A and B are shown apart, each in its own frame.
Chain A
């Protein structure tokens, strides 16, 4: 039961470096999303996708890029890392949604802890 798989689990970067956080799901979910979680601030949406080839911005998209070339994969790219991007990142997916039905149950990966020095 793989579910949502994130890699790497831990990463340390220097300011200005770039990297990609990988996310894969094997549940044939249409909806995928990336969150960051910071103490006292809950989960904040970075980017999301309602299907292959479609992506959109969430609440805090600056400094991050995404693509969705397949249903299974939704990588998150940090273009030029900054200390403010130090956080725990979660990938989450759910079944196909509509504006009327809502997001439904989100299935989360275990998280990727990123430190930017």
Chain B
């Protein structure tokens, strides 16, 4: 059983559609990070959320940390082909980052 459950595992949608992906756990965290990984590259940090209920926006991407700091969501508005990639969430635990398995997102032109 993974500490972080990401859903859906895979999502393929048309350009211009909206979508939401989720990162859930039964544990409480002090912070949560979202990364995007493109094929053949390492993950790159998108955002860190720290406060329960916090909402952060990065252009068309909106990140929310649950009030109880157990879960997070990533909403993309008007998805573009450049949003294609593997979206990973991660949390800190004793000098280690624990990772979800990721959501593979494909945006079709």
Contacts and interface: CB of A to CB of B under 8 A. Distances in A.
Contacts of A44: 99
Nearest to B102: A42
Interface size on A, as a range, is: 20 to 34
A43 B92 contact: no
- B42, B92, B96: which has the most chain A beta carbons within 10 Å? B42
A105 to B, nearest CB: 5
Given A43-B88, A108-B43, A99 B95 contact: yes
Contacts of B43: 43, 90, 106, 108
Interface residues of B, number: 24
Interface of B is mostly: loop
A102 B44 contact: no
B101 A102 contact: no
- B35, B96, B101: which has the most chain A beta carbons within 10 Å? B96
A56 B95 CA distance: 10
Given A45-B96, A50-B95, A111-B40, A106 B45 contact: yes
Interface string A29-44: 0010000000011111
A110 B33 CA distance: 19
Interface in A16-39: 31
B11 interface: no
A109 interface: yes
B30 interface: yes
A92 interface: yes
13 contacts: A4-B42, A42-B88, A42-B101, A43-B88, A43-B99, A50-B95, A58-B96, A92-B42, A102-B31, A106-B97, A108-B41, A108-B43, A111-B40
Interface of A: 4, 31, 40-45, 48, 50, 56, 58-59, 90, 92, 97, 99, 102-103, 105-106, 108-111
